[in-house]
């Protein structure tokens, strides 16, 4: 990573940092000697996560309780990204899905999903990149999903939101690379995060071999970051799936999406 050459402590800000992939990032970066800024809605869980990380890794941790689906929550984190000491790595992991078809979903819930999965990623990436470009170093990892590749899931706003995150990250990553700054989309498949359970989604029909471990997702994502990739798809099985999705005829993809009606695409957050 770019920050490894800096004489000052490396500092990472992670959203959705108390569960799943966000928590795995926190553990891995703390073990690697990073100082952390942890962001989540649940203040009690933030305290518990920070206490455990400090006990295990003796790292410096700031905690920020913020709901990133709100303007006020985003504004608090934006201010920290522009403040000192500087943040060298932003991990946009917070996200949500809905267990209701679009036509039956309250519009308020749909709007909250877009504010969290899309607008918060846009705002925090923008807030982080300004200082990073000035310093000529820094990294943003936006956690997306293989759900954003190719298959329009029937009635799902989630897959559309993740398609945006991947496209946005790849596009912005190209624009800031000349300034020594990295942006990468991390696109896992089904991952054991507790995410689906919290959303009330029954995943019992998904074969065990398709599931990934959060720690493995983080490890492979960081390896791809070091290789300079703009998009990281952890695990060979999902790499093959994405390659197929990118080249399959749209009519075939729509047929596959109809066959999976009632399921939710892989959740990454």
| pLDDT tens-place string over residues 194-239 | 655 555 555 667 778 788 999 999 999 999 999 999 999 998 999 9
Is the pLDDT higher at 102 or at 137? Answer: 137
Which stretches within the chain are classed as H helix?
Answer: 20-31, 43-57, 71-81, 107-114, 120-135, 157-176, 195-198, 214-226, 236-247, 250-259
Q: 49: Cβ–Cβ under 8 A, 6 or more apart, which residues? A: 17, 18, 23, 26, 38, 40
In this predicted model, what pLDDT tens digit does every residue of 26-74 receive, in sequence order?
999 999 999 999 999 999 999 999 999 999 999 999 999 999 999 999 9
Q: What pTM does this model have?
A: 0.86
User: Is 269 contained in some domain?
Assistant: no
Q: Quick one: pLDDT band at residue 20, thresholds 50, 70, 90? A: very high
User: Is 69 contained in some domain?
Assistant: yes
Catalytic site residue 158? yes
pLDDT at 114: 98
**CATH number of residue 81's parent domain:** 3.40.50.720
Q: Quick one: pLDDT band at residue 9, thresholds 50, 70, 90? A: confident
User: Is 267 contained in some domain?
Assistant: no
User: Is 268 contained in some domain?
Assistant: no
Q: Give the structural domain span for 50.
A: 7-259
Residue 22 has pLDDT above 80, yes or no: yes
User: Is 102 contained in some domain?
Assistant: yes
Q: Quick one: pLDDT band at residue 153, thresholds 50, 70, 90? A: low
User: Is 40 contained in some domain?
Assistant: yes
User: Is 83 contained in some domain?
Assistant: yes
Number of domains observed in the structure of the chain: 1
* Mean predicted confidence (pLDDT) in 150-175: 88
In this predicted model, what pLDDT tens digit does every residue of 87-128 receive, in sequence order?
999 999 999 988 888 899 999 999 999 999 999 999 999 999
User: Is 149 contained in some domain?
Assistant: yes
DSSP string, 244-262: HHHHS-HHHHHHHHHHTTT
pLDDT at 150: 67
Residue 249 has pLDDT above 80, yes or no: no
Q: Which of 57, 158, 190, 238 is catalytic?
A: 158
């Amino acid at each position: 990573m770019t920050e490894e050459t800096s004489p000052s402590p490396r500092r990472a800000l992670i959203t959705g940092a108390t569960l799943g992939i966000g928590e795995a990032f926190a553990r891995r970066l703390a073990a690697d000697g990073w100082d952390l800024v942890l962001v989540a809605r649940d203040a009690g869980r933030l305290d518990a996560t920070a206490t455990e990380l400090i006990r295990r890794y003796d790292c410096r941790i700031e905690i920020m309780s913020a709901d990133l689906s709100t303007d006020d929550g985003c504004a608090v984190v934006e201010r920290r990204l522009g403040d000192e000491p500087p943040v060298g790595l932003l991990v946009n992991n917070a996200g949500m899905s809905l267990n209701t078809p679009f036509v039956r979903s309250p519009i308020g819930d749909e709007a909250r999903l877009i504010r969290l999965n899309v607008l918060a990623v846009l705002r925090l990436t923008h807030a982080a990149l300004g200082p990073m470009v000035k310093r000529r170093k820094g990294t943003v990892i936006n956690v997306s999903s293989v759900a954003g590749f190719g298959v329009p899931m029937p009635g799902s706003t989630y897959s559309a939101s993740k398609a945006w995150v991947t496209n946005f990250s790849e596009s912005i990553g190209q624009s800031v690379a000349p300034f020594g700054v990295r942006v990468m989309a991390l696109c896992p498949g089904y991952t054991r995060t507790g995410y689906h359970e919290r959303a009330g989604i029954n995943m019992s029909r998904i074969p065990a071999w398709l599931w990934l471990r959060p720690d493995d997702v983080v490890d492979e994502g960081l390896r791809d970051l070091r290789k300079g990739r703009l998009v990281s798809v952890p695990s060979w099985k999902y790499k093959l799936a994405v390659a197929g999705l990118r080249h399959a005829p749209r009519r075939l993809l729509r047929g596959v999406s109809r066959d999976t009606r009632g399921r939710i695409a892989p959740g990454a957050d």
